[in-house]
Amino acid sequence: MPVRGIRGATTVDQDQDQQVLEATRELLQIMIEENQVLPEDIASVLFTTTADIKSVFPARAARDLGWTQVPLMCFQEIEIRESLPLCIRVLIHINTSKKQNEIKHIYLRQARQLRPDIAQASHRNSV
């Protein structure tokens, strides 16, 4: 069975534990719902944050969802001038028989501007 990647990103208004965890949890839940993923199908998850997020590891949101057996890692994005601030990015690797063009990538809040070409148009993404 192939491994596929699901990309997603979101933003927060401020670097506060609760905001980071809530935004990450929301993103993860939508990513798995839209792609019909079960936790046992997840091979690993990579999280990145911009340098202005220092309050909490976003991977904690996945643990809060019960993903206790999933390998998780957090990284800091490289700093690029004029990049989107207060941004959390996620890459979920899943074991799936889906084709790449069947994967739904999710971009919420201000992160929609990162990939307007593939950002989902669901009402949940208009936050």
- The span from the CA of 30 to the CA of 88, in Å, is 14
**How does pLDDT run across 72-122, given as a tens digit for each residue?**
999 999 999 989 999 999 999 999 999 999 999 999 999 998 888 876 554
Q: What is the pLDDT of residues 38-79, one digit of tens each?
A: 999 999 999 999 999 999 999 999 999 999 999 999 999 999
Q: Is 4 a catalytic residue?
A: no
Q: Is 109 a catalytic residue?
A: no
Question: What integer pLDDT is reported at residue 1 of this predicted model?
Answer: 79
Tokens representing residue 19 in the block: 């905001």
Nearest to 88 by CA among 2, 4, 1, 26: 26
25 given a catalytic annotation: no
Q: pLDDT at position 37, please?
A: 95
Q: Is the CB of residue 90 less than 8 Å from the CB of residue 7?
A: yes
Give Cβ neighbours of residue 49 (< 8 Å, ≥ 6 apart).
20, 58, 74, 75, 76, 77, 87, 88, 89
Q: Which of 77, 79, 87, 109 is catalytic?
A: 77
Catalytic residue of the set 33, 63, 102, 124: 63
The pLDDT assigned to 121 comes to 52
pLDDT score of 126: 43
Tell me if residue 22 is catalytic: no
Cα 63 to chain center, whole Å?
14
Domains in the chain and their CATH numbers? 3-117 (3.30.1330.40)
* Of 102, 115, 50, 42, the residue nearest 72 (C-alpha): 42
**Facing residues of 94 across strands?**
4, 42
